[in-house]
Chains A and B, each alone.
Chain A
Amino acid sequence: MTSIDDVRTRAVGAQRQRRAMSTGRRGDRIFRSAALGSGVFVLVIMAAIAAFLVWKAIPALQENEANFFTATEWNANGDPPRFGVAQLAFGTVMSAAMALIMATPVAIGIALFIGFYAPRRLAEGLGFVVDLLAAVPSIIYGLWGLHFLVTNSQGVVEFLNGVLGWIPLFAGDSVGGQSIFIGSVVLAIMILPIISSITREVFLQVPTAHIEAAQALGATRWETIRLSVLPYGRSGMISAMMLGLGRALGETVAIALVLSTVAGINWHLLEPGGNTFAANIVRTFGESGEIGRSALIASGLVLFVITMVVNMAARAIVARRKEFV
C-alpha cells in the first residue's frame, strides 16, 4: 500500500530529478541534425556519383578520335584512343529488351498464380520461393549460364533458328554458344522476381469490391482477373517492367561471363558475340591505362543516365497512380 505521503515524496523527487535532467532540447537538436544530415548525405552521394563520373570521363572524351556515340570499336588504350559506345548500346538494349519480353508474361503469370490461384496457405511460401530467385547473386547466374546453360541449350537454339530463322534476329549460320540470346535468358531469370513481386503487391491492392462485383456478374476466374485485376494493376505492371528493365540494363557479371567477345554489331542474336556497357567495363578494366579507365567511366556515365531515366520514369508512373487512388 502506498500512503499519500509516499506519493507526495515520490512526486517531489521526480520533480527534482527532472529539474536535474536536461529538458531534452539539446538532445533533440543534435539528433534531429544527425537524421537530417544523413538524409542530405544520401542526396550528396547521388550528386557526387554524377559529378565524379563526369569529371573523370572528360579526359578520355577529349582525347577520343572517333565519335563517342556512333563508333563501334573500343580501342581506348590505343594511340590515339578510338572508342565509341554503339556496339555496347546495341548489346545492352537488345539483351535487356529480349529479357523483358521473356520475363514479363511469366512474371505476371506468377503474380496471378500466387495472388489468385495458389491455395491460400501456400501463397506466402510460394512468394518466398520466387524471392529466393532474387537472392541468388548475379555471379552465380553467370557461372551457371556459362557452364550449364550455354552447353545445354544448343538444341533449343537450333530449334529457334530453324523455326524462326526467317526473322533476321533469329537468323544466322553458326548459331549457339555464348550469344546475346543466352545472355538475355539469364537476364530474364534475374529480373523475373523483381517484376513479379512488384506486380503481386499491386494486385494485392485491388479493391475487393471490384473483384466481388465481377464475381457477382457470374464471371469466371479469368474473367474476374481480366475485368477487375488487370485494368487496376496496369500502371503498376508497367512500372514493374521498367524497374526490371533498369536492372537488366545494368547487370554486369552474369552477362560478362556468358557473352563471348566478338567485335562489331551482329543482328543475329543466336550467334556468339555481343557486348554490353557493364560487361565491357569489367572485361577491359584490367588492362586499361589512364585514358582507358577514363573511357570506361565515360561509358559507365552513359549507362548511369540511361538507367536513371528508366527508373525515374517508372517511379513517376507509380507516383501518379498513387495520387489517383
Chain B
Amino acid sequence: MSAPTLSPKRGLPGGQAIPATSGMRRLKDNIVLVAVYVAFALAVIPLASVLYKIISEGVQVLSADFFLRSMNGIGGRDAGGGIYHAMIGTLEQVALASAISIPVAVLTAVYLVEYGQGNRLSKVISFFVDVMTGIPSIVAGLFVLAFWILVLGFEVSGFAGALALAVLMIPTVVRSAEEMLKLVPNDLREASYALGVPRWRTITRVVLPTAFTGIITGIMLAVARVMGETAPLLLTIWVTKVINFNPFDGAQSSLPTYIWEQAGDPNQVAVDRAWGAALALIFIIMVLNFGARLLARRTSIR
C-alpha cells in the first residue's frame, strides 16, 4: 500500500529530474560535516596550545649559559643553571640505545621478510613484536631495574637507561623496517639470484640499499620517540645535577628526567627551567620528525 504511493515521488519512470535530497537528510549531512570539522579542531587546539606555551615560556630562559652549564651547586630557588649535563646524558643514552637496538631490529625484520616468509616462528615473532610495541615504558624500566640492577648487581648508569630505551625501540624499528622490506619489488631479488648472487649478498647489496631511506626514516622516528621517554630513565639512570660524560659509570641526567625534576619543584625559577628544557627537547624531536618526513617524501619506493 505504501510502496506504490511512494514510488511516484521518488522513482522516476518518465525520465523526470531527480528530486533534491530531502531537508532532513541534508540537515543530518551538514551536522556531521560540522562535527567532523570540530573534531579536527579539537585535535589541533591542544597541539597549538602545547607548542605556544613551550615556545613563549621556554624562550625566556634560553641563553648561552642555559646550554653550557649544568645544575651543579644550584638549589631549587636559585635562578641560573642549565641543561648541559642533561643534553650530554640524552645524546649518549639515545646513541647507545640505537647502537643496541638497530642491528637487532633490522636483522629481525630481515628474518621476517626474507627468511621467515610466513612460517610459524615468524608468525610468533611478528605477534610478539606487536605485543612488545604496547609494553608501557615504565615496565621496560622495571625490567632493566630487575634484571640489570637487582639481579646482575650493576649500578645505575646511563647504559642501564639505554638498555630500557632499546627495549622500547626494537619493536618500532622492526615494524617500520619490515614494511619497507616488503615494498622492495621481488623482481630485484630474482634478478640478483639469476646472476648467481648468494642470498645474503642479495639482501645486503640489493634489498637493504633499496629500502635504506625508508628504514632510516623509521629509525629517525623511533629515536624521536625514545628521546622523550622519561619513566624508564627515572628508574635506571637516577638523577644528578653534575656533568657525567661516562654512561657506564654512575648516575646521569637526561632532558626528560631534568624536566620531570624541575617541573615537580614548587619554585617558579625551576618551572621556568623546565619549560626551557622542554623547548630544547621538542626542538630536537620536531627536527627529527620533519627530517624523516622530508626523507620519506623525497625517496619513497614506488
Residues of A that sit less than 8 Å from B by CB: 18, 23-25, 27-28, 30-32, 34-43, 45-46, 48-49, 52-53, 55-56, 105-110, 112-114, 117-118, 126, 128-133, 135-144, 146-148, 189, 192-193, 196, 218, 220-223, 225, 243, 246-247, 249-253, 257, 277-278, 281-282, 285, 293, 296-297, 300, 303-304, 307-308, 310-312, 314-315
Contacts and interface: CB of A to CB of B under 8 A. Distances in A.
B61 interface: no
Contacts of A243: 134
B231 interface: yes
Interface in B20-75: 21, 25-26, 28-29, 32-33, 35-40, 42-44, 46-47, 49-50, 53-54
B4 to A, nearest CB: 20
Interface stretch (B76-84, B122-130, B210-218): B122-130
A145 to B, nearest CB: 9
B198 A23 contact: yes
Contact of A139 (B29, B174, B228): B228
Given A109-B35, A132-B47, A35 B136 contact: no
Interface of B: 18, 21, 25-26, 28-29, 32-33, 35-40, 42-44, 46-47, 49-50, 53-54, 103-105, 107-108, 110-112, 114-116, 121-122, 124-125, 127-140, 142-143, 145-147, 150-151, 167, 170-171, 174, 196-201, 203-204, 224-225, 227-231, 234-235, 256, 259-260, 263-264, 271, 274-275, 278, 281-282, 285-286, 289, 293
Given A105-B39, A311-B131, A304 B136 contact: yes
A147 B137 contact: no
Given A39-B112, A42-B108, A222-B32, A128 B293 contact: yes
B189 to A, nearest CB: 14
Contacts of B134: 243, 246-247, 250, 307-308, 310-311, 314
* Centre residue among A32, A38, A52, A311 by max chain B CB count within 10 A: A38
Which 7 pairs across A and B sit closest by C-beta, in order of nearness? Answer: A137-B228, A250-B136, A24-B198, A109-B39, A31-B200, A311-B134, A38-B107
Nearest to B39: A109
B17 to A, nearest CB: 13
A221 B138 CA distance: 44
Nearest to B197: A24
Which DSSP category, helix, strand, loop or mixed, fits chain B's interface? Answer: helix
Given A31-B199, A133-B46, A136-B228, 17 more contacts: A41-B108, A43-B125, A45-B132, A49-B135, A114-B40, A132-B286, A140-B282, A141-B50, A142-B263, A143-B275, A144-B53, A221-B33, A223-B25, A257-B263, A257-B264, A278-B231, A281-B235
A253 B231 contact: yes
Contact of A56 (B47, B136, B151, B263): B151
Nearest to B126: A39
A109 B260 contact: no
A146 B263 contact: yes
Contacts of B281: 137, 139-140
A281 B278 contact: no
A133 B43 contact: yes
A28 B230 contact: no
Contacts of A28: 198-200
Given A28-B198, A52-B143, A220-B25, A35 B131 contact: no
A24 B201 contact: yes
7 contacts: A39-B111, A56-B151, A110-B40, A137-B228, A220-B29, A222-B28, A297-B145
Nearest to A54: B146
B26, B54, B111: residue with the most chain A Cβ atoms closer than 10 Å? B111
Nearest to B293: A128
Nearest to A193: B43
A28 B293 CA distance: 34
Contacts of B28: 220, 222
A315 B39 contact: no
Nearest to B225: A135
B260 A307 contact: no
Nearest to B203: A31
B221 to A, nearest CB: 8
B29 A137 contact: no
B47 A129 contact: yes
Nearest to A294: B150
Contacts of B201: 24, 27
A304 B43 contact: no
B29 A223 contact: yes
Contacts of B234: 253, 282, 285
A303 B200 contact: no
Contacts of B131: 46, 308, 311-312, 315
Contacts of A136: 47, 50, 228, 282, 285
Given A27-B200, A53-B146, A282-B234, A42 B135 contact: no
Contact of A143 (B147, B200, B278): B278
Nearest to A37: B107
A27 B202 CA distance: 11
B130 A304 contact: no
A108 B260 CA distance: 32
A49 B140 CA distance: 8
Contacts of A39: 107-108, 111-112, 116, 121-122, 125
Given A27-B201, A143-B278, A48 B143 contact: yes
